[in-house]
Amino acid sequence: MRIPGKGEWGYTDAHKRSQILKTFLFFLIPISIFVLGYVTTGTKRNYFTILAIVGCLPACKEMVNVLMFLKRRSMPKGLYEEIEAHGGKLTRAYELVLTTYEKNYPVHSLVISGNEIAGYTTMKNTDLKPLQDHIVKMLKENGISGIHVHIFPDLKTYLDRVDALAKRDPEEIPFTPDERFPGMNREQCIRELILSLSL
């Protein structure tokens, strides 16, 4: 069974499960080293203990990832299917947690069409302008300008916007392929750059 990648539906739950397993294994290794050292020398004062303590550092790093994803869940399948039915041939991404310098923003769905990016979040009473500005700034720093970003806290408004974008003819925008993303068109490159902002 294929594990969903970042930006695909089901990624959050799959990533959380894999991080929990990885964290368990990463802690198991230093514990095993410590036990081996204690059994072979009969004391905690040995080089195995030092090695075990240092070995806990990668495990602690993985634990931070687990804690960041612990409260998050994949979006409901019904919501995913409803949005997907409106997307047509638009470039899409799902289950993002976009990071700015001040705050993290969960964005359940995102579509890209030419210079237009539309997203949906359930953060009703939050100022979304800093997130929109951050996406525009980050894309501009990576050589993609003229982008308009709108993140909607209302599902119906978002779906109406997705429908409008899906019906439009594709824009002819000059684009030089990016060597960081071989074989990708402009919209796919934009998607990859946005995914790099996501946890």
Residue range 32-44, pLDDT digits in tens? 999 999 999 888 8
- Tokens found for residue 50: 């030092």
- Tokens found for residue 121: 């979040």
pLDDT at 1: 66
Q: Summarize the confidence of residues 98-123 as an average pLDDT.
A: 92
Cα–Cα distance, 25 to 27 (Å, whole number): 5
Q: What are φ and ψ of residue 178, in 5° steps? A: -95, 125
Q: Specify the pTM.
A: 0.81
The domain spans of the chain are 11-69, 77-195
pLDDT at 99: 86
146-196 pLDDT tens trace:
999 999 999 999 999 999 999 988 777 888 888 888 888 889 999 999 999
pLDDT at 195: 94
Token pair 């204690």 in the structure block, residue: 38
